Amino acid sequence: MAKVLCVLYPDPVTGYPPQYARDSIPKLTEYPGGMSLPTPSTIDFTPGELLGCVSGELGLRKFLESQGHEFIVTSDKDGADSEFDRHLPTADIVISQPFWPAYLSADRIAKAPNLKLAITAGIGSDHVDLDAAIARGITVAEETYSNSISVSEHAVMQILALVRNYLPAHEWVVNGGWNIADSVERSYDLEGMDCGVIAAGRIGLAVLRRLKPFGVKLHYFERRRLAPEIEEELGLMYHSDVESMLEMIDVLSIHAPLQPETYHLFDDAMIGKMRRGSYIVNTARAEIMERDAVVRALRSGQLAGYAGDVWYPQPPAVDHPWRTMPHEGMTPHMSGSSLSAQARYAAGTREILEDWFAGTPIREEYLIVDGGKLAGAGAVAYTTGGASSPGSSGS
């Protein structure tokens, strides 16, 4: 029997919700491109429930305990005295979400001799030291596509919020004002602007598709160029290097994984290559940015706005400068944890666990590390050699 240690974000401050804003969520049939949705044998939750917090338990308790497994759920994940650290030495399986990551550093992995499987409920396993996982033969898996569209919607929302100056205008209303001039002095139309994405993978391409109807000119930088039909359909301009794209765009949305190549890619010099008054939305990983360079660029006016939902570390300190820098539209790391997304990645987590306990292969699409090497989706999306060393990178 296995000990499953699950780290989830805390419940709402008002307690676990007795009811929800909506009675149901739409039923999808497949992911874009035809990949199938998670296929667990059954689920023990109602899609649309809050599953990603401690009381939600990813809907896994009945399933795990009915098979005799021990299931520990906690949000207490940081510091040597945390509940996570207390249980880690005897855990066989660790589950955590990128929104509230249990950083599985090399040190922690060394203290977990039984650990065989690390599941990311969601997408993005850079909170796990993949090199250490490879060395120890630990399998790492995540639920590819489960929240890609969720994130793309959030990115487009934040682009519009920044360009149109939505958040400051909303604040005027909440504070009893009717300050049109104050609200519009930084408000523009997106229409006609040049918008670019870094990485046109699942999320980046979905962002491009969603921006198209706004009448913008679309650009992208990718290591591998998209098919000509897609470029034509969306009217995309391809850039073989980031710099050439930055000179031509007003809005940038970042969707590349955190890797040695993207770590601190955006420093003063790189942001300085952009047009004055550009906007950046980053829903990929915080450490693609040099933290204080973002603050300086907003203060100087080089950037007109910065938004996103990824921070380092997570949760960030109360005095993290991104909380108070000017012209920001930050949210906590929530884009990929909508109630809709939770239903998919909770089902995907169960699918992975069912396969694991049955000894059947986990879908290639879900695998990041397996058999002592990068595998499946991970072999495409990740690199080793310091690719993900929580504590020095990863968010």
Q: Which spans of this chain sit near ligand NDP (rule: CB under 6 A)?
A: 122-124, 147-148, 151, 198-204, 222-224, 255-259, 261-262, 283-285, 309-310, 333, 335-336, 380-381
Sign of the Cα pseudo-torsion (9, 15, 17, 21, in order): negative
DSSP single-letter state for residue 328:
B
- Which CB, 71 or 101, lies closer to ligand NDP? 101
Annotated ligand binding at 95? The verdict is: no
- Which CB, 64 or 199, lies closer to ligand NDP? 199
- Which CB, 130 or 198, lies closer to ligand NDP? 198
Annotated ligand binding at 150? The verdict is: no
For residue 127, give the nearest of 369, 358, 352, 392 by alpha carbon: 392
DSSP 250-290: SEEEE-PPP-TTTTT-BSHHHHHTSPTTEEEEE-S-GGGB-
CA angle, 103 then 207 then 315, to 5°: 25
- Which CB, 139 or 259, lies closer to ligand NDP? 259
CB of 258 to ligand NDP, least distance (A): 6
CB of 280 to ligand NDP, least distance (A): 14
Helix (H, G, I), strand (E, B) or coil at 374: strand
Output the residue with the shortest Cβ distance to ligand NDP.
Answer: 201
Catalytically active residues, by annotation: 147, 285, 314, 333
For 241-265, letters b (16+ CB in 10 Å) and e give ebeebbeebbbbbbbbbbbeebbeb
Annotated ligand binding at 336? The verdict is: yes
CB of 264 to ligand NDP, least distance (A): 13
CB of 144 to ligand NDP, least distance (A): 7
Annotated ligand binding at 337? The verdict is: no
Q: Please state, in angstroms and rounded to a whole number, the distance separating the CA atoms of residues 276 and 125.
A: 34
Annotated ligand binding at 202? The verdict is: yes
Helix (H, G, I), strand (E, B) or coil at 68: coil
List residues forming the annotated binding site for substrate: 123, 147
List residues forming the annotated binding site for NAD(+): 148, 202-203, 283, 309, 333-336
